[in-house]
Chain A
């Protein structure tokens, strides 16, 4: 019963999850081999969206709850590192590919 209630309460999210799985597979289905690494790096940057959760958790912590503040601070640092570093490193990789093409 609990299980069915849970499904009923979260049905929209469950639909989104299912559809997104198919979108994710469909979207990169025809990627050529040379782009595997930049694509992995780009996807790596996108899951950095987890930093939003870190921002929310830090922003909601009580101002005297130092454990939450310190862990939240750390989470925002590493999350931002994931996002910013991920996009910059992907851009650098793809820049290499463009330069290679301009040599033609």
Chain B
């Protein structure tokens, strides 16, 4: 038992050190391994050294080892097979699994609690029951937070891989709020008002409501904002894990959980700040967007379209082309087609570079990872400040599925929800070609004046298809 305490202390230290190393580029990969080693120590230590109050070791080891083997195999296969573009949804799925784990622990512990921890007192005035409220609160908290994190992450996962569409209906936020209040009300009833025979029903009612709340919590949030929500749910799961640590007086669980809960919350705020948006704005989702659309959509304006051959000719005879990749490129998995177009243009003597907005794709570093996967040389990726210097000397800017990060309203329109966010000033170039799937507003739900500019031509269609057609057209010039 004493050795196990040492294991837990060491693994707590590795979690802190690992997280610290993960936040620096040079040490990040090592930091991940350090934390993983600490985790292995904590898990193996528990498996072999754990003793309960009576000094017995853990039973049911075949069940546990079987489950661990199964989980490890699925985990490795899923993590190895996933495409780089699908990373955020994978993280979301794993996060949901952690939440489910915390919720299930609470369900089993509640069952145990109901049978063993309630003391019946027989006094002169009749019989009463004594319920230890402290542990019950912790069990409930772990269950509620874990459940919300589980269903929320699953919805986020479904949204990111396109299985679930954004759904909003009138009164959705009110309904969410009511469910949240109901969860608190029923939980309080469970703690104070009812006899043990009714505890089970109330507990499972809270369970069901919490699962439902997770769904409603994530449903209205736009697909491109999911990384922020995943980060928030990530910190939820951390808190749920810490509840488990409280329940078992297990310091590894407690420190690991709280650490992630705190760091995850800060990370969520940092992510929002990078997009110049508040967390509330993100969570309310489409609401803010709708209002902005009404305000901006009063006047009818026309856009100019360009054909594939024309676009190919313009780029083929340009001196400098800057490509602005965005979420649309990631969704269409068009990074390889993009690299091919870039090589073809380079062979014709055109200078081609990429202008990378820090939150392009709404996932920091998304575009860097994506283009690195397609073997685009690192020095071709320009950061925003450098790209903005180059736009005035650029003949053609090709915007691939990016919208809000090139919206001039961020500089000019104080009423815009993205006002103040630094953007790529593509309108300074001689010509802008914008590839989008449709005229639908971008994630922030606001109109983009760039599309109506006289310099801009639209090239509608799936990014991958359009790029492949451009490559074909370019070869035939």
Q: Which residues of A contact B (CB under 8 A)?
A: 2, 6, 9-10, 13, 16-17, 20-25, 27-61, 63, 67-69, 71-101, 103-104
Do B76 and A84 touch (CB < 8 A)? yes
Do A77 and B76 touch (CB < 8 A)? no
Do A47 and B267 touch (CB < 8 A)? no
Contacts of B71 in A (CB 8 A): 76-81, 83-84
Main SS at interface, chain A: helix
Contacts of A76 in B (CB 8 A): 63-64, 67-68, 71, 101
Determine whether B321 belongs to the interface, using a CB cutoff of 8 Å to chain A.
no
Contacts of A85 in B (CB 8 A): 74-76, 78-79, 90, 93-94, 97
Interface residues of B in 160-210 (CB under 8 A from A): none
Interface residues of B in 6-38 (CB under 8 A from A): 11, 15-16, 18-20, 22-25, 28-29, 31-33, 35-36
Ranked nearest first, the 10 interchain pairs of A and B with the lowest CB-CB distance are A59-B58, A80-B71, A24-B262, A84-B75, A85-B75, A76-B67, A53-B244, A88-B79, A34-B365, A50-B241
Known A-B contacts A37-B227, A89-B94; A53 and B76 likewise in contact (beta carbons under 8 Å): no
Do A16 and B43 touch (CB < 8 A)? no
Q: How many residues of B contact A (CB 8 A)?
A: 115
Least CB distance from A5 to B in Å reads 9
Contacts of A47 in B (CB 8 A): 95, 98, 234, 237-238, 240-241, 256-257, 260-261
Least CB distance from A103 to B in Å reads 5
Given contact pairs A20-B254, A28-B267, A43-B235, enumerate 11 new A-B contacts (beta carbons under 8 Å): A20-B258, A28-B20, A31-B24, A36-B274, A38-B22, A58-B60, A71-B104, A72-B104, A74-B67, A91-B33, A97-B368
Known A-B contacts A40-B264, A49-B253; A73 and B230 likewise in contact (beta carbons under 8 Å): no
B75's partner among A44, A74, A80, A98 (CB-CB below 8 A) is A80
Do B63 and A73 touch (CB < 8 A)? yes
Interface residues of B in 236-258 (CB under 8 A from A): 237-238, 240-242, 244-258
Listed stretches B105-113, B215-223, B324-332; interface member: B105-113
**In the complex, what distance in Å separates the CA atom of A52 from the CA atom of B242?**
11
Do B244 and A50 touch (CB < 8 A)? yes
Known A-B contacts A37-B363, A48-B39; A31 and B79 likewise in contact (beta carbons under 8 Å): no
24 chain-A/chain-B pairs, Cβ below 8 angstroms? A22-B262, A23-B259, A39-B19, A42-B19, A42-B31, A42-B35, A43-B264, A46-B260, A50-B237, A52-B248, A53-B253, A57-B108, A58-B60, A59-B64, A68-B111, A71-B104, A73-B63, A74-B100, A75-B104, A76-B68, A78-B98, A85-B76, A87-B35, A100-B372
A54's partner among B33, B80, B104 (CB-CB below 8 A) is B104
Q: How many residue pairs, one in A and one in B, have C-beta atoms under 8 Å apart?
A: 385
Do B98 and A79 touch (CB < 8 A)? yes
Contacts of A74 in B (CB 8 A): 67, 100, 104
Do A27 and B16 touch (CB < 8 A)? yes
Contacts of B250 in A (CB 8 A): 52-53, 56
A96's partner among B76, B82, B358, B369 (CB-CB below 8 A) is B369
Determine whether B449 belongs to the interface, using a CB cutoff of 8 Å to chain A.
no
**In the complex, what distance in Å separates the CA atom of A96 from the CA atom of B363?**
15
Known A-B contacts A35-B22, A45-B39, A82-B95; A25 and B108 likewise in contact (beta carbons under 8 Å): no
Do B87 and A41 touch (CB < 8 A)? yes
Least CB distance from B54 to A in Å reads 11
